[in-house]
Amino acid sequence: MKHVLVFDVNETLLDMSALDPHFQRVFGDASVRVEWFQTMLQSAFLTTITGPYKPFGDHFRAALAITALRRDLRVSPEDERAILAGVRTLPAHPDVRPALERLRGAGFRLAALTNSTAEVEEAQLRSADLADLFEKALSADTGKRLKPAPEAYANAARELGVPNKEIRMVAAHVWDVQGAMRAGCAAAFVERPGAVWNPLLDRPDIVEPDIGAIAEQVIAIDR
Give one word for 76, left, alpha or beta, with left for phi > 0 and alpha for psi -120 to 50. Answer: beta
Phi, psi of 208 (to 5 degrees): -145, 160
DSSP assignment, residue 15? -
Distance (Å) of CA 4 to CA 18, 59, 99, 194, 218? 29, 29, 15, 27, 11
The pLDDT tens digits of the residues spanning 134-160 come to 999 999 999 999 999 999 999 999 999
Predicted local confidence at residue 134, as pLDDT: 98
Of 112, 93, 97, 131, nearest in space to 16 by CA? 93
Neighbouring C-alpha atoms within 13 Å toward the C-beta of 202 = 8
Indicate if the pLDDT at residue 1 is higher than 90.
no
Q: Tell me the average pLDDT across 33-60.
A: 96
Rounded to two decimals, the pTM is: 0.97
Tens digits of residue pLDDT in 207-221:
999 999 999 999 999
